[in-house]
Structure 1
């Protein structure tokens, strides 16, 4: 049989005849019980070729079928055969694929068994949310309970434009999904992402992916540059509890804990809707404890501040990774052996952040510049973001203003803000201005 012209619509698929004819060869045998085809073959120009077999009972029973050693190109296979099965607007619907795959499939009613050999493949999304190159994978799956081994390799990858190094993973495949045979490590952001556990389930209420592991020595400079966030330096290490991906959403069963700037950041109640979609929505609560201000302000070029910072960010909501709402409070806590000091440049930065133009007055500024640092008793700030407007607060109230910095000793410097409501974009602009102007002070620490 040859198909030379015309179109075929078999929902959800739609095919157009290629320039060269599609050729199908069959040799049917009929018995009193069934139609049987043992040695069928298919040659589809531009897609690939392989064999197939059918057993079709005529007196009831399920159709048994096989596709044998089908060798096809990934680009047309994904575009014309797999993509029509995906949800419109989802990540899978926008993917592009390349490479070659040889596979065999068998079924009786549903899918019973699959064997594959994927070679030199690549997968990418138009917006670079996901990109994987140099993919090679071999393995087998069976619905009957047989456990088998599989391998997955890639040369490079990127997730949300964050580059990831080579992968070499050995998997155990079972009827419900797969899991790691042994842990593996990926290089990322100049550090390492260690996977202790990685698993998948094909179907059911817990279908999707799950993983746990830890991150070591990731560069914040690289991350902020890639994500177009305010730049700062340093590295971060984190403990990752079980992350779960199901039906487009990402969540965690425990607190994600990161060690940064000598302190700890814990992320609770993390949930990301539409993780790979057009407008992902992140919700979380964040707890910050024991963060050292000296390395933090050095990283942000804010001016020198010494002390220890605690705080929290409640009801955080990021739409497409930009803040939509949160309630944040940050304040210093006295710690034995840690001085609470601030430089003139940092005083200027905090004043600008609070809505002022810096320390006014020629003689006042000249006098304060004579001192390297100033002691303080309390330092803190709160921000409540709703509908693009930030409401500011501090560690105390003075007249109609809010105290950001409460000085101590002589000369004493206090910073009081009076503009409690400010546009969020304007507050970000103030922060960027403060970071650009915050010259560092060497203290000998």
Structure 2
């Protein structure tokens, strides 16, 4: 029995009482522009009572507009057709059809009403049924502000109006059973009792709070008297889905204990007490708040204990997705606390023992993570230790390491350098300062040193052709500014008997779906024989230098660069390498060298080789040593037979160029298009 139904019944009782107190007539019609009882306002009312021909009275009631502000029901049209009679115990009985139009959730659109008024027992009893929904209420005649209510199979949507008075959300489906006590006061209501849910759903305008298919049972308390509406809930939930901001929960079929104390005011929702107990997955104790737009204003977990993989599968996947950690495989346990607000994190702490974590894309994997971190934006925190047996970051396998950490003045820093083995070499993290609460600007500063990393193993790990050499260098300052990692200094790779120097290196959104890498690369005295041997391009001897400036990769695919490759100290080039360079440049053989003569020689002397490519969008703007008529020189020959390779395509589609290079290095020979 809804609050509206109870108040309408009282209003109906007033109208019927007035009619019965008038002198008896075969037909009686009463009209009124306005009828009010506390909390209910009826307008343009017409009541007719007449003989039903069977010893009773036929009653019809029409109200063009019924308003019940406490229920959020306005401009509701009401019609009642029934029979009124007295039984042997002198009780008034009313049976009829009640129709309401314009109610939220289409509540009581076409229902049956049975009303018993027993003055001797001081009770008004009402039963309302519509389809499978049943509602009953018992109201003391001398205390009409109180009612005992029973609900069976009530559509949750019927509560839309009531919820709208305290919250912006609305039910979307499901059914409710309940046994409630209800007290109506001048400025609100109080209600408490037991309930059960079957497939209940709800939503909010912002879509940040939602539920679907929720089942369970528990006790509920509501108080809307003066000030924010207060809600208390002690429930056992079974199945369904919940969305609370960035937290998405897929509830298991077994019981999950939920204890909530909340207040709602002007569309805001403040859950001051939130306790969850899912025995094999998650236990937490904290608070949660949303603003009037449905955005997360506060998430405070004073204590949480998560057991994986169940906690990840049921509660953590969506939230970790927002942090760039997708499709995790995770085993172990994690205990800790969290203070997250609208302006970012204010504190966190966690401790774990033997936690294993891997992302599906292989960008991150941690084996046997032990220890924890403790950070606060305001207070200094005790020192902690965090160690792992193995760490794989962007496919690079790091060995065991242990870090000692301490939080001071909002900065979480290493107390001493951290060292880890990497592919036969060593990576050392010197000073490291992390500011998790920094919304903008510098979030992290550190320094790195890399020595003796085997390039063959490194290139294999990255999925590149294997080539010998070592990687080393120092990065005196690495900064995480906003969402970008910036490196000062550079890395130097000793490879192909020369050096590749990487400077101006930055990585934006490193854990996002499309990381953006930028760098300048300088090539110094690389052995072309070693390079062409590794990449199976055809043999070229000599030394290569040049650079790749303004390199930009999005999701590790090139979208822009300015590349200049030059071998200007002379050497030999094989017939196959000539063919490949010719095809890559979309050119041909010049200077009188005929195809028949070419077949007589396996290698040729050259003076210079030069090839440039500036990638803009998806087009590579090609050039070489110098312009030559309608083309550009790629190979300038030396000696006899004199060789000259001319490129004729100044603009080449980047995917086409990549396919040519791939064909060349795979030994099949590129196709000119």
> Which of 296, 319, 325 in structure 1 is aligned with 2:560?
325
Kindly provide the CA deviation profile for residues 390-427 of structure 1, in whole angstroms up to 9, marking residues without a partner as x. 22211122232211111223333222222333222232
Shift of 1:233: 1.3
Counterpart of 1:316?
Answer: 551
* Distance verdict in 2 for CA 1:196–1:363, change over 3 Å: same
* Distance verdict in 2 for CA 1:217–1:425, change over 3 Å: farther
* Distance verdict in 2 for CA 1:105–1:384, change over 3 Å: closer
Q: Equivalences for 1:71-86 in 2 at 5 Å?
A: 71-75=305-309, 77=311
Counterpart of 2:213?
Answer: none
* Distance verdict in 2 for CA 1:430–1:143, change over 3 Å: closer
Q: Which runs of 5 or more residues in structure 2 are unaligned? A: 1-218, 220-233, 260-274, 287-299
Shift of 1:383: 1.0
Counterpart of 1:288?
Answer: 523
- Does the Cα contact within 8 Å between 1:219 and 1:233 map onto a contact in 2? no
Alpha-carbon distance between aligned partners in 1 of 2:616 and 2:316, rounded to the nearest angstrom: 42
Alpha-carbon distance between aligned partners in 2 of 1:313 and 1:407, rounded to the nearest angstrom: 25
User: What SS is found at the alignment partner of 2:383?
Assistant: strand
- Does the Cα contact within 8 Å between 2:378 and 2:410 map onto a contact in 1? no
Counterpart of 1:278?
Answer: 513
Alpha-carbon distance between aligned partners in 2 of 1:326 and 1:17, rounded to the nearest angstrom: 51
Counterpart of 1:192?
Answer: 426
Alpha-carbon distance between aligned partners in 2 of 1:134 and 1:282, rounded to the nearest angstrom: 30
Alpha-carbon distance between aligned partners in 1 of 2:338 and 2:661, rounded to the nearest angstrom: 58
* Distance verdict in 2 for CA 1:208–1:365, change over 3 Å: same
Farther off after superposition, 156-165 or 316-325: 156-165
| Aligned residue pair count | 402
> Which of 324, 328, 333 in structure 2 is aligned with 1:91?
324
Counterpart of 1:209?
Answer: 444
TM-score, normalised with respect to structure 2: 0.51
Alpha-carbon distance between aligned partners in 2 of 1:298 and 1:422, rounded to the nearest angstrom: 26
* Distance verdict in 2 for CA 1:160–1:138, change over 3 Å: closer
* Distance verdict in 2 for CA 1:276–1:111, change over 3 Å: closer
- Does the Cα contact within 8 Å between 1:43 and 1:50 map onto a contact in 2? yes
- Does the Cα contact within 8 Å between 1:214 and 1:237 map onto a contact in 2? no
Alpha-carbon distance between aligned partners in 2 of 1:325 and 1:383, rounded to the nearest angstrom: 10
- Does the Cα contact within 8 Å between 1:303 and 1:438 map onto a contact in 2? no
Counterpart of 1:353?
Answer: 584
Shift of 1:353: 2.8
- Does the Cα contact within 8 Å between 1:301 and 1:436 map onto a contact in 2? yes
Alpha-carbon distance between aligned partners in 1 of 2:641 and 2:241, rounded to the nearest angstrom: 85
Shift of 1:17: 7.6
Alpha-carbon distance between aligned partners in 1 of 2:336 and 2:505, rounded to the nearest angstrom: 39
> Which of 473, 476, 479 in structure 2 is aligned with 1:239?
473
Shift of 1:112: 8.4
Shift of 1:389: 2.5
Alpha-carbon distance between aligned partners in 2 of 1:80 and 1:86, rounded to the nearest angstrom: 12
> Which of 342, 361, 365 in structure 2 is aligned with 1:127?
361
Q: Equivalences for 1:143-222 in 2 at 5 Å?
A: 145-146=379-380, 148-204=382-438, 205-222=440-457
* Distance verdict in 2 for CA 1:157–1:66, change over 3 Å: closer
Pair 1:433 & 2:668 matched: no
Alpha-carbon distance between aligned partners in 2 of 1:105 and 1:410, rounded to the nearest angstrom: 76
Counterpart of 1:261?
Answer: 496
TM-score, normalised with respect to structure 1: 0.74
Alpha-carbon distance between aligned partners in 1 of 2:635 and 2:301, rounded to the nearest angstrom: 74
Counterpart of 1:424?
Answer: 654
Counterpart of 1:55?
Answer: none
- Does the Cα contact within 8 Å between 2:497 and 2:525 map onto a contact in 1? yes
Q: Equivalences for 1:271-420 in 2 at 5 Å?
A: 271-334=506-569, 340-355=571-586, 361-366=595-600, 368-369=601-602, 374-420=604-650
Alpha-carbon distance between aligned partners in 2 of 1:112 and 1:330, rounded to the nearest angstrom: 51
Alpha-carbon distance between aligned partners in 2 of 1:315 and 1:93, rounded to the nearest angstrom: 30
* Distance verdict in 2 for CA 1:197–1:375, change over 3 Å: farther
Alpha-carbon distance between aligned partners in 1 of 2:244 and 2:516, rounded to the nearest angstrom: 33
Alpha-carbon distance between aligned partners in 1 of 2:426 and 2:595, rounded to the nearest angstrom: 51
Kindly provide the CA deviation profile for residues 318-371 of structure 1, in whole angstroms up to 9, marking residues without a partner as x. 22111122221111244xxxx6333444334333333358896234311x23xx
Alpha-carbon distance between aligned partners in 2 of 1:106 and 1:428, rounded to the nearest angstrom: 49
- Does the Cα contact within 8 Å between 1:353 and 1:431 map onto a contact in 2? yes
Alpha-carbon distance between aligned partners in 2 of 1:113 and 1:429, rounded to the nearest angstrom: 51
Alpha-carbon distance between aligned partners in 1 of 2:435 and 2:346, rounded to the nearest angstrom: 16
Counterpart of 1:35?
Answer: none
Counterpart of 1:4?
Answer: 236
Shift of 1:51: 8.6
- Does the Cα contact within 8 Å between 1:141 and 1:147 map onto a contact in 2? yes
* Distance verdict in 2 for CA 1:207–1:125, change over 3 Å: farther
- Does the Cα contact within 8 Å between 1:341 and 1:375 map onto a contact in 2? yes
> Which of 288, 313, 334 in structure 2 is aligned with 1:101?
334
Alpha-carbon distance between aligned partners in 2 of 1:133 and 1:360, rounded to the nearest angstrom: 62
User: What SS is found at the alignment partner of 1:276?
Assistant: coil
- Does the Cα contact within 8 Å between 2:248 and 2:316 map onto a contact in 1? no
Kindly provide the CA deviation profile for residues 302-329 of structure 1, in whole angstroms up to 9, marking residues without a partner as x. 3333333221223322221111222211
Structure that is richer in strand per residue: 2
